Structure 1
Amino acid sequence: MTHSTASRQARGTHQWLALVIGVVYLLVGIAGFLVTGFSGFVEHDHGQTLLGFAINPLHNIVHLVIGLLGISLWGTSGGARTFGWLLLVGYGAAFVYGLFAVGNPEINFLNINTADNWLHGLSALAGLLIAVWPARARTVEQPGSTETLPRDVR
């Protein structure tokens, strides 16, 4: 019996992390709309929270977009790494923004509280982890030799 080299490829850990983070953010975005509805799009009201995290409809949309990106990019190693870089830059910027926005309703259009800000910082770090996760080694068998190549080499 011969096995095709085009058969299903093993996914890297960074890809699974991208998928999990994408699914979690998608579910949080959907659940957020169950709490906020669609009114008060950029309202700053910490009375609207989901598990202690402040939300508003705009914040929910951001979660949906991040979730959809993770789900759509996880399938390839390069796509997952791109998602990681997007998380790092996007949530890194959100974390810095949150340092100024928390406690300042005039600029806090995403309704960020301290818990959100910590989660954004952790999400940025998760993005860095996904982006730079080491490539897995794989064994490529050719008649008469075995050669180990990085997983991302195709």
Structure 2
Amino acid sequence: MTPNATTTAVRRTPRQLFAAVVGVVFLLVGVLGFIPGVTTNYDMLTGAGHHSGALLLGIFAVSILHNIVHLAFGVAGLAMARTPGGAKAFLVGGGVVYLVLWLYGLIIDHDSAANFVPVNTADNWLHLVLGLGMVALGLIPLNAHKAPIADSR
């Protein structure tokens, strides 16, 4: 290192790290949805709709559209994790999207054309937990544990 060289330490807030981790998990899930074996009934994977019989980990209904949504959420999470405000927006906004998706999954008939994502009961439970978790990570005060600095005068 030369004497005039400077280094800049990039400090991430805990919320930014949470958003980045969630983004990476979404990317991983999106990729895994396209891997035969990890996704059972892979030969039944369709573009969209309730006719897709593919199951990620043998549990969660997936389609090409569903996998692409996971990939897009992952990219958004990583991009938005670059700033504290973006990380919060991703976690809260994404969490709300997943809570709406949970409600949607409860309301629709899983065997109807309305189930275009597709979702099943396992997806519904996952969407509820994911939505609540993301909103909580986006809203919990992360500096509450710091004690005020005492004045030594």
Pairwise same-fold verdict (TM > 0.5): yes
TM-score by length of 1: 0.75
Q: Deviations over 1:44-76 (max 9, x none)?
A: 246301111110011111101111111111122
CA distance in 2, matches of 1:99, 1:46: 19
Q: How does 1:4-153 map to 2 (within 5 A)?
A: 7-35=8-36, 36=42, 40-45=46-51, 47-51=53-57, 52-101=59-108, 103-136=110-143
SS for the counterpart of 1:34 is coil
For 2:141, give the aligned amino acid: P
For 2:99, give the aligned amino acid: G
Query: Does the aligned pair in 1 maintain the 2:52–2:63 contact within 8 Å?
Result: no
Residue 10 of structure 1 deviates from its aligned partner by 3.2
Moved more, 60-69 or 93-102: 93-102
TM-score by length of 2: 0.76
Mark the runs of 5 or more structure 2 residues left unpaired by the alignment: 1-5, 37-41
Mark the runs of 5 or more structure 1 residues left unpaired by the alignment: 139-144, 147-154
CA distance in 1, matches of 2:73, 2:63: 16
For 2:18, give the aligned amino acid: L
Query: Does the aligned pair in 1 maintain the 2:34–2:67 contact within 8 Å?
Result: yes
Moved more, 39-48 or 53-62: 39-48
For 1:13, give the aligned amino acid: P
How many positions carry a matched residue from both structures?
137
CA distance in 2, matches of 1:100, 1:46: 19
> Could you say what the CA RMSD is over the residues aligned between the two structures, in angstroms?
2.8
Q: Which has the higher strand share?
A: 1
For 1:18, give the aligned amino acid: A
